[in-house]
Structure 1
Amino acid sequence: MKLLSLFFLSVILMGCSNSTSETLIAKNQLGLLRPSTQINEISSILEKDSIGEFNLKSRINTTNEIEVFTKEGEVSLIIEPNYQGDSLVTISEIQILDPKYKTREGLTIQSDFKTIYENYKINNIQNTINSVILSIDEIGAYIVIDKKHLPSKLKFDSEIKIEANQIPGKAPFKYFWLRFEESTP
């Protein structure tokens, strides 16, 4: 009986770790997607999701994006191809729209700035006209926060230097992008 219980427990644990790896955000990784993943492999890797219509031949040397949908029809990911000639097309960046994708620390598209501030080193804060862009090199991500969530003195000046401690903890994300970088041998 103990042996049977251990078997079922190990099967459950393996299933949990497998589903986690399919939704994990990490440096150069989104689930099972990596920088070396070719665009024509995405459908088989994300077989539980629906890939927007994509014709590789008609999209070579363009910047068209690939939309990945949930079974409910919601856009889950937007994949930006990295064109490297006529035959090899890999992933450059991925916009994450689905909260099922998260880092080990629990960072998702539905997180707020406090999650970043408490768990990651912010490498750069870029002040633009309408947004603040946070670069987190540790996971290869950049996150955009709408300036409407900032204090008044920071909202309308795109020249002012914004520090992390000036961004409210409850500021939600507008966009969550993951950069893929090819490693050099």
Structure 2
Amino acid sequence: MKFTHTLLIIFGCCLLINCAKEKNNDFQISGDQVGKLSKQSLARDIELIFEKDSVVKDTVKLNFGSGASKIKIYERGGALLLTLTPNNDSIATIQNIMVNDERFVTEEGVSKLSTFKEIRENYSIKKIITSINNVVVLLKDSDLYFTIDKKELPESLRYNANSKIEEVQIPDNAKVKYMMVGWD
């Protein structure tokens, strides 16, 4: 009897250790995955994928029959997790994802709370695009990209929308404004 009891305790401990080691991928960003979403996820299945969360679609677009332009995913507690934009294909998938919650993190440890230095140290930068108010940082071999507000840049670079901004001109401590994933 004592042996069986000891065996049950050992089995229970092993089970608890294995459960604790399982990684929660709900906030993990990797190659073709953003949390529960994959590159192959269909827009029509979003409510099933996020069945424990709240899914809010653009009702104006839905009423006119052209599909939702934006789909917002809220955690049950009310926090905005993701903003999704489906493509217009006959079988729509997710084209763009705006990561709204800072708990989403890449395999390299980069999140919405990261700085430009962390992005530069973990990824190769493919291109920097300048707009009126922002700078968009595109990465090599990744669907992930970041937007940095021009307010984070030196004064001399803020007001010229036509200026070409180089990687070395962006301060290390520049904060990420938007963290996005673009799937073709």
Q: Deviation at 1:106?
A: 1.5
Answering whether residue 90 of structure 2 is matched by residue 82 of structure 1, we say no
User: Where do residues 58-137 of structure 1 align in structure 2 (5 Å cutoff)?
Assistant: 58=63, 60-61=65-66, 64-85=69-90, 88-137=91-140
Q: Deviations over 1:32-91 (max 9, x none)?
A: 212221112112212232111467964653562011112222322111011212xx2211
Q: 1:5–1:50: structure 2 CA closer, same or farther, 3 Å change rule?
A: same
**Larger Rg over CA atoms:** 2
Q: What secondary structure does 2:146 align onto? A: strand
Identity across aligned pairs (percent)? 29
Please name the residue that 1:141 is paired with: 144
User: Where do residues 1-185 of structure 1 align in structure 2 (5 Å cutoff)?
Assistant: 1-14=9-22, 17=23, 19=24, 21-53=25-57, 58=63, 60-61=65-66, 64-85=69-90, 88-181=91-184
Q: Deviations over 1:69-127 (max 9, x none)?
A: 12222322111011212xx2211111110011110111111211111011011111011
Superposition RMSD in Å: 2.1
Amino acid at match of 2:18: S
Q: 1:104–1:162: structure 2 CA closer, same or farther, 3 Å change rule?
A: same
Amino acid at match of 2:13: S
Unaligned runs of 5+ in 1: none
TM-score, normalised with respect to structure 1: 0.84
Q: 1:175–1:59: structure 2 CA closer, same or farther, 3 Å change rule?
A: farther
Unaligned runs of 5+ in 2: 1-8
